[in-house]
Amino acid sequence: MNKFQKLWTVLAGLALLSPSVFAGSGRAKPAPTYYSYQDLLNATQTYSRDMWYDNMSYSPNNDVALIPQYPVGGSAIASTKLKSTIIPAKAPRTISYVRRPKRRPGQPTSSMTTQTTYINWPSDGSKKVPFDQLAGCAGDLIFVRGKSKGEKLVSEYFSSWTHVAMIWSNTQHKVLESMEKGGVQVNDAHESWANTIAFATKSVDPNKVGYFDWTQEDENGKVVNYMGSNHAYLAIIAANRNYSGTLYWPTSVNKYAWTTKDFWKKWSDINNPESMYCSKLVYQTFKDNNSSVNLDSNRTKIYIPGLANSDGSWIGVSPDDIWGSSDTTEAWEFYGQENLTRALN
Give the CATH number of the domain where residue 73 resides.
3.90.1720.10
Q: What is the DSSP letter of 57?
A: S
Q: Looking at the domain assignment, is residue 317 inside a domain?
A: yes
The predicted model scores a pTM of 0.77
Three-state SS letters, 198-256:
EEEEECECHHHHCEEEEEEECCCCCEEEEEEEECHHHHHHHHHHHHCCCCCCCCCCECC
Q: Looking at the domain assignment, is residue 8 inside a domain?
A: no
* Mean pLDDT (whole number) for 116-145: 89
CB contact at 8 A, 52 and 156? no
Q: Looking at the domain assignment, is residue 14 inside a domain?
A: no
- Residue-averaged pLDDT of the chain: 75
- At CA 85, angle to CA 140 and CA 161, rounded to 5? 35
Query: At 187, is the pLDDT very low, low, confident or very high (cuts 50, 70, 90)?
Result: very high
Query: At 101, is the pLDDT very low, low, confident or very high (cuts 50, 70, 90)?
Result: very low
Q: How many structural domains is the chain composed of?
A: 1
Q: CA 171 to CA 226: how far, in whole Å?
A: 13
Is residue 17 scored above 60 in pLDDT? no
CB contact at 8 A, 84 and 55? no
Q: Looking at the domain assignment, is residue 29 inside a domain?
A: no
| Percentage of the chain exceeding pLDDT 90 | 34
* Mean pLDDT (whole number) for 144-153: 78
* Mean pLDDT (whole number) for 174-201: 93
Is residue 257 scored above 50 in pLDDT? yes
* pLDDT at 114 (0 to 100): 53
Q: CA 209 to CA 290: how far, in whole Å?
A: 7
Alpha helices in the chain, H assignment, sequence order: 3-17, 37-47, 149-157, 189-192, 206-209, 232-243, 260-268, 278-289, 319-323
Q: Looking at the domain assignment, is residue 101 inside a domain?
A: no
Q: Looking at the domain assignment, is residue 15 inside a domain?
A: no
* pLDDT at 267 (0 to 100): 95
| More confidently predicted of 102 and 204 | 204
Q: Please tell me whether residue 169 adopts helix, strand or coil conformation.
A: strand
* pLDDT at 184 (0 to 100): 97
Q: Looking at the domain assignment, is residue 5 inside a domain?
A: no
* pLDDT at 194 (0 to 100): 82
* pLDDT at 64 (0 to 100): 56
Residue range of the domain that includes 161: 37-91+111-339
Nearest alpha carbon to residue 59 among 299, 308, 331: 299
Q: What is the DSSP letter of 81?
A: P
Q: What φ, ψ does residue 186 adopt, rounded to 5°? A: -85, 120
* pLDDT at 97 (0 to 100): 35
* pLDDT at 88 (0 to 100): 35
Q: Looking at the domain assignment, is residue 98 inside a domain?
A: no
Longest CA pairwise span in the chain (Å): 103
Nearest alpha carbon to residue 250 among 189, 186, 178, 187: 178
